[in-house]
Chains A and B, each alone.
Chain A
Amino acid sequence: MSLVLIAIGLLVASALAAFLLARAPRLATLCGVGGAMLAGLAGLIPSLRILLTGANESFVMPWSMPGGSLHIGLDAVSAVFLIPIFLITALAALYGGSYLRPFWGKRAIGFSWFCFNLLTACLILVVVARNGLLFLMAWEGMSLASFFLVVFEHDKKEAREAGWLYLVATHLGAAFLLIFFALLAREAHSFDFDCIGAMPQTIANAAFLLAVIGFGTKAGFMPLHVWLPEAHPAAPSHVSAVLSGIMIKTGIYGLVRTLILLGNPPVWWGWTLVGIGLSSGILGVVYALAQHDLKRLLAYCSVENIGIIALGLGLGVLGLSMGHPLVAQLGFGGALLHVVNHALFKGLLFLGAGAVAHSTGTRDMDRLGGLAKIMPWTALTFIIGSAAIAGLPPLNGFVGEFLVYYGALIACLPGGMANPLPAVGIVAGLALIGGLAAACFAKAFGIVFLGEPRTDAARQAHECGWSMRLPMIILAAACVLIGFGAPWAVAALKPAIADLAGVPAAQVFSATGRSMMLLMEVTIGFAAAAGVVVLLGFIRRRLLKNRPVRFAPTWGCGYAAPTPRMQYTGSSFALWFVDAFRWILRTERHRSLPQGYFPDAAFMTTETPDGFRELIFRPVFAQIRWALASLRWIQHGRLQVYILYIAATLVALLIWYASCL
């Protein structure tokens, strides 16, 4: 526990140091990166220990804020979220040190590291806070720090707009959270989490809805996700990794904590979560397939994976409410494991995308290509991340989804849940999402890294330095390790699952009759397949040893002058999907066709704006703006009249207070 506090202290101290050293970018970077990495190391130790031993810790300090107290606690659920926080932020900081190098002297590096370390400190505080007010303060700090990080390149219009959208969205969500915590505090007469006990069902239902909207805005549930595809690409890549890998998980953490605090869920909570999961998952990946910008694609994939986590949580809640504990444990287990997994591989993918953007100067996939020959390490880690996020064996993404599938299968059996329809929906939805995600990442990896470079920008790329490669290699290794070490990873999660499912840790998965080594055969299968791959590789090498092995250009069907621009582009690859889902995507096409006998250059661009933003949020906000425009007359700019307003309000309050005495 004290180590976590030391970690927070280190982060705050290094943040201040970086801020003060803003004139010297090298020293500021050193402070920032060093602080983040030391804090990460310091924090990982107690988190792992809590998870492995299952003992909870707590720390209270009085605070001058009315109703608040510095109540911090570390339990298994917090530990599950803390491990990715410490790991990803430390690695992202290491990466960011080199990534921000080209910006030294041009932008505020010191301020950026100040915000980064403060963001990390607030992330930790959110996950360990046990007091509503402390939670809200940490939440707000997290939002503000990330806002400043998102508008790092504030001279670019799109970054400014993204930051603005993000700020509005996160504060709207925070408004719901304020009401949520106020509601809970009124029931429990205290803001402290430990005091929240049983409450009438209507209050609990209202609290659940508020939590879903408030935390869902941060997590990125559809249709509250509209800020995600703008903010995550606009931020620098190491920040995107933290935003996508960690910050949206704090929304999930809030939802998990709400479920633990409220307890005894009714069935419709599970249906809501499953519905949100299906819509976010399927629509998220469909939008991802239609994107050209690599980081925007990754942002929409984050929405998809949050959908998968919501499916797991929904399955768990359904299991709890329909009295099927094994289904509940499997659902929650899958959701928690996917939280960790997604942090790992999405962090990895964003760091890789950043490396690509850093060395080629563009994020447009259709201008890249052939980078695997120029950036072999980045390509290797990116392909591991892609296969992991598509849920393919033998990596970690499959293991998380397998738990949810298994739970849904058990729920569909005759002895399972009374109404198996949501479980059927989960199986069908996960199957569809899996296929679409595999297509999406075949596109992302294939178009960017494989084939030939399509433009000069891609041809002149270079591999990034070791301080950028090392974090990606570590994350890729973690993906492979969790994939092959699935039984142990799931066993480590048992205390957290126990908290969510309301059973003692020893009983988790006991209904399967083999709680210790639940996924052992999966690992055996993986190991066998890996062995076969190695064996086949050897056989092929022996076969080709004394035989002619030549190199030739790719067969182009006899075209006289082939160019790399003739390769399949990302848009062509995804054309079937964009066409099939055109009702939802509403892709706009701008083109000028070749004309005349000796046609000039022609062009065609496609653009897929976010449907929810265009059809729902933009009109609604336009209406609100129009309605409020009639109140413009209050803002006339005269200082004395403003002071008159303040004075009049004070006098009115005094009169009211005096008359009530």
Chain B
Amino acid sequence: MNAISWIHMAVALVLAPLLLGAINRTKARIAGRAGAPLLQLYFDLWKLLRKGAVYSRATTWVFRAGPPIGLAAVLGALLLTPFGKSGAVLAFGGDLVLFAYWLGLMRFVTVLAALDTGSSFEGMGAGREVFFSALAEPAFLLGMLGLARATDALSLSTILPGISAATWLAAGPALALIAAAWLVVLLAENARIPVDDPNTHLELTMIHEVMVLDHGGPDLALILYGAALKLWVMSALLVSLLTPIRYGVAWQDALVFLGGMLILAVGIGLIEGAMARLRLTRVPQLLMGALALAALALMLIIK
């Protein structure tokens, strides 16, 4: 916990919507369009914060409590995320479990807020969401376990900065498998193609989008910002895994990290632009595949 961690956290809070903007811009460019401005999400948030609200008569306080609790949960996860070589604001042994469960809390309150509206659309999205995340979470934690064993550390702030070029040389294939599994989990948890289509609002394709259909105004702003932060936090973990360059100098590490995030955003945009959404019955197989990759990686590291 030092000043650098706080600065990094502030940078994350400011830049998270930019990540989504980069992804959307890449997608648009691939499709041959000009695309929305990079800062579009900022404009959206500003617009939403100045609006009033419309609440459904079927809802209760659970609906209104959903967005703030979700955002607070992802901020709790942000407190635990390390950047580059410096540790996170809050670090302790086993904090990777708390990280996963903060995201679980965010999911839980979003699902409850969705069920509160009494709409079948939102119930549909909620049912799919809890199933896919029940499959994705073991893949994430098994990958994390493999990294913990490879770096002989217990906390996110010691595991991820501890991944150096030497670690990649020693356990290269295993780390590559973990990165692949985490990429699939990232795509699934953040409503990216091939699991979910963040642009449409058809019931066939919706998982995350449909759950927030009835939120508006400042609530929607909280939800969109929370989603951007969730994407940032999970990308940060993946980038730390994939860029084992640690200079030890704060601003150089930060530059490498931000560069990595940008490249990852472009990569996600490329994946989204190049692929179509999977048929919904194939998504469990994709997640089981991610689980298999993580299990294989873990066994390679243990042997």
For the complex formed, measure the closest distance between the CB of A51 and the CB atoms of chain B, giving whole angstroms. 25
Contact status A402-B97, CB under 8 Å: yes
- Give A508-548 as 1s and 0s: 1 = Cβ < 8 Å from B's Cβ atoms: 00001000000011101110111011001101100110011
Contact stretch, chosen from B30-38, B135-143, B249-257, B263-271: B135-143
Contact status A532-B71, CB under 8 Å: yes
For the complex formed, measure the closest distance between the CB of A431 and the CB atoms of chain B, giving whole angstroms. 4
Write out the residue numbers on chain B whose beta carbons fall within 8 Å of the beta carbon of A547: 51-53, 217
Contact stretch, chosen from B17-25, B99-107, B161-169: B99-107
Contact stretch, chosen from A33-41, A77-85, A216-224, A560-568: A560-568
- Give B53-89 as 1s and 0s: 1 = Cβ < 8 Å from A's Cβ atoms: 1111111111000011101110110011000000000
Q: Given A427-B141, A536-B71, A567-B118, decide whether A576 and B298 contact each other with a Cβ distance below 8 A.
A: no
Say if the beta carbon of B127 comes within 8 Å of chain A: yes
A427 to B90, CA, bound (A): 22
Say if the beta carbon of A489 comes within 8 Å of chain B: no
Contact status A580-B284, CB under 8 Å: yes
Within 8 A of B (CB), among A576-612: 576-577, 580
A529 to B101, CA, bound (A): 13
A431 to B142, CA, bound (A): 9
Say if the beta carbon of A643 comes within 8 Å of chain B: no
Say if the beta carbon of B240 comes within 8 Å of chain A: no
Point out which of A369, A525, A548, A553 has the most chain B C-beta atoms below 10 A from its C-beta: A525
Within 8 A of A (CB), among B138-152: 138, 140-142, 145, 148-149, 152
Within 8 A of A (CB), among B206-259: 213-214, 217-219, 222
Say if the beta carbon of A409 comes within 8 Å of chain B: yes
Q: Given A393-B98, A432-B137, A521-B95, decide whether A553 and B56 contact each other with a Cβ distance below 8 A.
A: yes
Write out the residue numbers on chain A whose beta carbons fall within 8 Å of the beta carbon of B101: 391-393, 398, 434
Say if the beta carbon of B108 comes within 8 Å of chain A: yes
Contact stretch, chosen from A292-300, A439-447, A469-477: A439-447
Say if the beta carbon of B5 comes within 8 Å of chain A: no
For the complex formed, measure the closest distance between the CB of A377 and the CB atoms of chain B, giving whole angstroms. 12
For A, the interface residue count at a CB cutoff of 8 angstroms equals 81
Contact status A552-B127, CB under 8 Å: no
Whose C-beta in chain A lies nearest to the C-beta of B96?
A: A409
Say if the beta carbon of A20 comes within 8 Å of chain B: no
A556 to B118, CA, bound (A): 9
A406 to B98, CA, bound (A): 11
Write out the residue numbers on chain A whose beta carbons fall within 8 Å of the beta carbon of B214: 554-555
Within 8 Å by CB of A568, from B62, B79, B91, B123, lies B123
Say if the beta carbon of A115 comes within 8 Å of chain B: no
Q: Given A536-B72, A549-B53, decide whether A424 and B298 contact each other with a Cβ distance below 8 A.
A: yes
Q: Given A428-B142, A557-B121, decide whether A533 and B57 contact each other with a Cβ distance below 8 A.
A: no
Contact status B131-A439, CB under 8 Å: yes
Contact status A413-B102, CB under 8 Å: no
Say if the beta carbon of A573 comes within 8 Å of chain B: yes
Say if the beta carbon of B126 comes within 8 Å of chain A: yes
Say if the beta carbon of B119 comes within 8 Å of chain A: yes
For the complex formed, measure the closest distance between the CB of B111 and the CB atoms of chain A, giving whole angstroms. 5
Whose C-beta in chain B lies nearest to the C-beta of A547?
A: B52
Say if the beta carbon of A373 comes within 8 Å of chain B: yes
Write out the residue numbers on chain B whose beta carbons fall within 8 Å of the beta carbon of A438: 104, 107-108, 130, 134
For B, the interface residue count at a CB cutoff of 8 angstroms equals 79
Say if the beta carbon of B49 comes within 8 Å of chain A: yes
Within 8 Å by CB of B68, from A409, A424, A536, A556, lies A536
Contact status B115-A525, CB under 8 Å: no
For the complex formed, measure the closest distance between the CB of B194 and the CB atoms of chain A, giving whole angstroms. 18
Q: Given A393-B101, A398-B101, A553-B58, decide whether A568 and B141 contact each other with a Cβ distance below 8 A.
A: no
Contact status B154-A435, CB under 8 Å: no
Whose C-beta in chain B lies nearest to the C-beta of A423?
A: B145
For the complex formed, measure the closest distance between the CB of A588 and the CB atoms of chain B, giving whole angstroms. 21
Write out the residue numbers on chain B whose beta carbons fall within 8 Å of the beta carbon of A445: 112
For the complex formed, measure the closest distance between the CB of B141 and the CB atoms of chain A, giving whole angstroms. 4
Contact status B108-A568, CB under 8 Å: no
Q: Given A392-B101, A434-B101, decide whether A412 and B137 contact each other with a Cβ distance below 8 A.
A: no
Say if the beta carbon of A451 comes within 8 Å of chain B: yes
Contact status A533-B68, CB under 8 Å: yes
Task: Name 26 A/B residue pairs within 8 A (Cβ), A-sorted.
Answer: A369-B118, A372-B62, A383-B62, A393-B73, A393-B98, A405-B97, A413-B148, A424-B145, A427-B141, A427-B145, A428-B138, A432-B137, A447-B115, A450-B62, A450-B115, A450-B116, A521-B90, A528-B79, A529-B76, A533-B69, A536-B222, A543-B49, A549-B54, A551-B57, A554-B56, A576-B131
Chain B residues with a Cβ under 8 A of chain A: 49, 51-62, 67-69, 71-73, 75-76, 79-80, 90-98, 100-102, 104-105, 107-108, 111-112, 115-124, 126-128, 130-131, 133-135, 137-138, 140-142, 145, 148-149, 152, 154, 213-214, 217-219, 222, 284, 295, 298, 302
Which 5 pairs, one residue from A and one from B, show the smallest C-beta to C-beta distance?
Answer: A568-B123, A435-B134, A446-B115, A451-B118, A439-B130
